[in-house]
Amino acid sequence: MPFCIVSKSSKEEEGTQGGVRIFYQRYGHGSTKVLLIIGFAGTYDSWTPQIKGLVGTTEPNDEETPADFGKEGEGIEICCFDNRGIGRSSIPTKSSQYTTVIMAKDALALMDHLGWEKAHICGHSMGSMIASKLAAIAPNRVLSLALLNTSGGGFECCPKLNHQTLSLAYRFLRAKTPEQRAIVDLETHYTKEFLDEKVGSRSRREILYQEYVKGISSSGMQSNHGYEGQINACWTHKLTRDELDRIRSAGILVSIIHGRSAWMT
């Protein structure tokens, strides 16, 4: 399986035996490189619709195919991965081992592993916070920056508190099976109107439910260590004025896209 080993380089990494393993997949071939960074409690295959739309297939590249195959040709190569704390990547046990700075360095280490000097960086939710940190740490590695449902961290990560959001949060913590988790995820990711729409004889909810159960079952339920660690990364995230100035002065094209009913504000 394709793994990138992240070296221990800071006090936050102490206690991690042999470094952190980051699981990734590559799709498509070409000189245009795109790194997709998923959000909180999401795995790499959450990007399946986008991968299909960009490269026309969801079949990952063969592990034997060199990372620079098709480097000089036209086309797009995508890489997406499981953040530390979920899926097939390592799950450090200390919350201090999860910050957006540390996770941005995971992404940069993956780019180094692939031999990518620069890439278009796209992040969703927590992934967008990681992406913005990556751009602040190494603006010379970023061709463009797309931030989907981004947040300034801390209290800004919290949705408006009402009965629905409190109920979702409670059921998210209580979910013990892929089936239970899929129901909560659907209500978190989509509006009721969208889920109730019919596609042929079935509702979108029925169709997506089967896909979510399959995806969660294949990657496994997120552990408490991973859940708490990724919460810590979101809660402690902050971009300083100097970091924002660094991104701005680099001349990086930045796109910010946010849903009207998105959790992060």
Give tens-digit pLDDT for 202-218.
999 999 999 889 888 88
Residue written as tokens 């796209």?
A: 122
Domain coordinates in residue numbering, the chain: 3-157+233-257
pLDDT higher than 50, residue 12 = no
Q: Which residues contact 247 (CB under 8 A, 6 or more apart)?
A: 132, 135, 136, 139, 145, 254
| 146: β partners | 122, 255
Least confident of 13-27, 99-113, 177-191: 13-27
* CB 105, CB 215: distance < 8 Å: no
* CB 126, CB 230: distance < 8 Å: yes
Q: In what order do the strands lie in the sheet with 142-148?
A: 3-6, 20-27, 76-81, 32-37, 119-124, 142-148, 253-257
Q: What's the whole-number average pLDDT of the chain?
A: 88
Q: pTM of the prediction?
A: 0.86
CA angle 131, 80, 184 (to 5 degrees): 85
pLDDT higher than 80, residue 194 = yes
Share of residues in the chain with pLDDT > 90 (%): 63
Confidence of residue 19 (pLDDT cuts 50, 70, 90): confident
Q: Looking at per-residue confidence, does 264 or 104 come out higher?
A: 104
Burial class (CB in 10 A: 0-12, 13-18, 19+), 246: middle
Q: 3-157+233-257 is classed in which CATH architecture?
A: 3-Layer(aba) Sandwich (3.40)
Q: Looking at per-residue confidence, does 198 or 259 come out higher?
A: 198
251: left (phi over 0), alpha (psi -120 to 50) or beta: left
Q: At what angle do helices 126-137 and 241-249 cross, to 10 degrees?
A: 70
pLDDT tens-place string over residues 162-191: 777 778 778 877 888 999 989 988 887 788
pLDDT at 62: 87
pLDDT at 259: 77
Mean pLDDT of 86-97: 95
Confidence of residue 263 (pLDDT cuts 50, 70, 90): low
pLDDT at 52: 94
Least confident of 77-81, 159-163, 175-179, 255-259: 159-163
Cα distance between residue 77 and residue 168, in whole Å: 36
Burial class (CB in 10 A: 0-12, 13-18, 19+), 66: exposed
pLDDT at 265: 38
**Helix residue ranges, H only, the chain:** 48-55, 100-114, 126-137, 163-174, 178-189, 192-196, 204-219, 224-236, 241-249
For residue 6, the surrounding DSSP H or E stretch is strand 3-6
Confidence of residue 14 (pLDDT cuts 50, 70, 90): very low
